[in-house]
Amino acid sequence: MEEGESRTDSGAGPRIVRVGTHALKPGSTTQLSTRLAQHRGQHKSGGGNHRGSIFRLIVGSALIRQRGYEYSTWGVGNTAPREVRADEFRLECEVSKVIGAMPFLWLDIDDEPGAGSLRGYVERNAIALLSNFKKPPLDAQSSEWLGHHCDRERVRMSGLWNSNHVEEDYDPAFLDRIETLTRHAETAT
């Protein structure tokens, strides 16, 4: 969720602006806490690594376009030398502030990593359900939403900080599945 982004058609409260998961490749040992830390950035320095987080990359690209910054190396390559990372540090800190201010919630789904995992099913279908990409808008993004400045059409048009699955239709059975999962989560706490 993101400050200033509210549900306008489907009820009250904050609008979901990003859906994600972790460990979708078989054998992956990535933990949720590790993945969230990659997105949110480093606590002590405030920096981060957009080359390890697509979320950071696209938020940074939106900041660059919104504020007229010059970062010719942003998003170039999977790694970068120390001097390039030092030049990008100020923007990495801004990205950390933007993402770090976003409240989040999670659904505990403890299954084996893999593309066919329940976590992957929930991610794909939640994105498809929430996306406004080439659909009549539901809970449309506000006119001030930073994502309007993103260099990716799928982000701008979907109203989500996601590119994958935004053009898909959700499985109607997903709504029943998510209701069951959230009921189970409520009784487990």
How far apart CA 148 and CA 10 sit, in angstroms, is: 21
pLDDT at residue number 118: 92
pLDDT at residue number 187: 67
* Cα angle, residue 133 at apex, residues 154 and 129 outer, rounded to 5°: 115
- 57-103: pLDDT as tens digits: 999 999 999 999 999 999 999 999 999 999 999 999 999 999 999 99
- 7-31: pLDDT as tens digits: 999 999 999 999 998 777 777 777 7
Place of tokens 């995992």: 117
Count of residues in the chain: 189
Decide if 19 contacts 123 (C-beta within 8 A): yes
Decide if 1 contacts 145 (C-beta within 8 A): no
pLDDT for residue 126 is more than 70: yes
| Cα separation values, 41 from 3, 26, 180, Å | 19, 26, 33
Decide if 94 contacts 63 (C-beta within 8 A): yes
How many domains are contained in the chain?
1
pLDDT for residue 163 is more than 60: yes
Q: What is the mean pLDDT of the chain?
A: 92
Give this prediction's pTM.
0.90
Q: Which domain holds residue 183?
A: 1-189
